[in-house]
Amino acid sequence: MDKKHIYLASPTMNGREMKFIEEAFASNWIAPLGPNVNEFERELAAYVGTSHAAALSSGTAAIHLALKAAGINQGDIVFCSSLTFSATCNPILYQGAIPVFIDSERDTWNMDPNALSKAFAKYPNAKAVVIVNLYGTPAKLDEILSICNEYNVPLIEDAAESLGATYRGKQTGTFGRFGIYSFNGNKIITTSGGGMLVSEDGEDIEKARFWSTQSREKERHYEHKEIGYNYRMSNIIAGIGRGQLLSLDKHIELKKKIYETYKKSLEDICDITLNPIPENCEPNYWLTCITINRDSKIKHLDIMLALENECIESRPIWKPMHLQPIFHDCGFVKADDTIKGVSEDIFNQGVCLPSDIKNTDEDMNRIVGIIRKLFER
């Protein structure tokens, strides 16, 4: 009971959020929409370098509206990263479409371009690709985009975990037809909940805004010609986002320091490998993760339990979607059929380490000390 609880990644408020929240209260803009929503859209779009943005209730809602705007309908096949959280692929089912999961490659842990090419050969009528930048590290976006362009299908970039990360100098979330961000409580900036859909196509974003406000037509009375959703972000939440956005670069700097601390402190333990960072990108280092060698006497669960016993939160790597019971009938494509899936291998050996930017040097020493002690037995 006396031990300090160390979290995986908890919200970090900077105090500047209150200015925008107080303005909303003072002007009575409490309900959805208002000046903070408009400005948060404008400011985030300017930060990532895209033309248009729609502030929504969640990243999941953003993916859903991206799929809808891309014309995904009943029975359509959509390729999706397997190594991700279910929020990435659930919206495919919302549209009545069929997900086919694509394996990872080891350089980034993200969608394998070779597996994607193989998937198009098997499913030439696929209608879209949803790719994830896992744990804040960009995928091989130029290769993926080139394949999508070859088959003339839209790329939807799930950058929920990678806001602020860049690939070849360009912000993640801006490579495909649509990009999505999440502001969930554990993300690099948070609004407690919420998301953003971005695109260079203003008509697509305007349509997404329309759908997200119950598809209400511009009539004096309530007129509806299409199915709509209650997906718009509130003015209060958008105010939190505006304040958080001011600290995004600082948060990335602190996340990087955490990654580098783990790297330096654990590099002599040959059984441990940190999540890879390719040379052609700058991640946002959202979560630092490790994998344990398959033949190590210490297993990934040993690390999680040892930390848990000391009131320190960690987490398994995402369980791949193709292994989830709900998706057991869906297709799964690997680059090499002679080996087990790379995503499954990462899951079976992986741990997400505490990556809270409020961690002190003492906290980091405590975490590292527990891990090192396991390997010194």
- Asked if 308 and 314 touch (Cβ cutoff 8 Å), the reply is yes
Burial of 186 (0-12, 13-18, 19+ CB in 10 A): middle
For residue 369 the two structure tokens come to 């000390």
- Asked if 62 and 56 touch (Cβ cutoff 8 Å), the reply is yes
Beta bridge partners of 32: 234
DSSP-derived 3-state class of residue 83: coil
Looking at residue 1, its pLDDT comes to 56
Rounded to whole angstroms, the maximal C-alpha distance in the chain is 74
Complete DSSP assignment for 244-287: HHTTHHHHHHHHHHHHHHHHHHHTT-TTEEEPP--TTEE----S
pTM of the predicted protein model? 0.96
**What are the backbone dihedrals phi and psi of residue 312, each rounded to the nearest 5 degrees, phi first?**
-120, 125
Q: CA 121, CA 222: separation in Å to the nearest integer?
A: 47
The 8-class DSSP code of residue 344 comes to H
What Å distances lie between residue 75 and 94, 301, 340, 354, CA to CA?
11, 39, 28, 40
Beta bridge partners of 349: none
Looking at residue 29, its pLDDT comes to 86
Looking at residue 337, its pLDDT comes to 87
Q: CA 357, CA 12: separation in Å to the nearest integer?
A: 8
CB-based contacts of 301: which residues, under 8 Å, 6+ apart?
A: none
- Asked if 153 and 129 touch (Cβ cutoff 8 Å), the reply is yes
CB-based contacts of 158: which residues, under 8 Å, 6+ apart?
A: 59, 63, 81, 84, 88, 130, 131, 132, 133, 180
Looking at residue 150, its pLDDT comes to 97
Give the pLDDT of the chain (377 residues) as one tens digit per residue: 578 999 999 999 999 999 999 999 999 988 778 999 999 999 999 999 999 999 999 999 999 999 999 999 999 999 999 999 999 999 999 999 999 999 999 999 999 999 999 999 999 999 999 999 999 999 999 999 999 999 999 999 999 999 999 999 999 999 999 999 999 999 999 999 999 999 999 999 999 999 999 999 999 999 999 999 999 999 999 999 999 999 999 999 999 999 999 999 999 999 999 999 999 999 999 999 999 999 999 999 999 999 999 999 999 999 999 999 999 999 999 999 878 899 999 999 999 999 999 999 999 999 999 999 999 97
Residue ranges and CATH numbers for the domains of the chain are 17-245 (3.40.640.10), 248-375 (3.90.1150.10)
Looking at residue 369, its pLDDT comes to 98
Looking at residue 48, its pLDDT comes to 98
The amino acid that residue 47 corresponds to is Y
- Asked if 134 and 128 touch (Cβ cutoff 8 Å), the reply is no
CB atoms within 10 A of CB 28: 9
**What are the backbone dihedrals phi and psi of residue 224, each rounded to the nearest 5 degrees, phi first?**
-135, 120
Place of tokens 């809602």: 61
Strand 98-102 to 331-333 pairing: parallel
Question: Where do the H-state alpha helices sit in the chain?
Answer: 17-27, 35-48, 59-69, 90-94, 113-122, 141-151, 202-212, 235-245, 248-266, 300-308, 342-349, 361-375
Q: CA 351, CA 291: separation in Å to the nearest integer?
A: 6
- Asked if 192 and 11 touch (Cβ cutoff 8 Å), the reply is yes
**Cα 213 → chain centroid:** 24
What Å distances lie between residue 376 and 66, 269, 306, 330, CA to CA?
49, 10, 14, 43
For residue 271 the two structure tokens come to 């059984």
For residue 99 the two structure tokens come to 């997900």
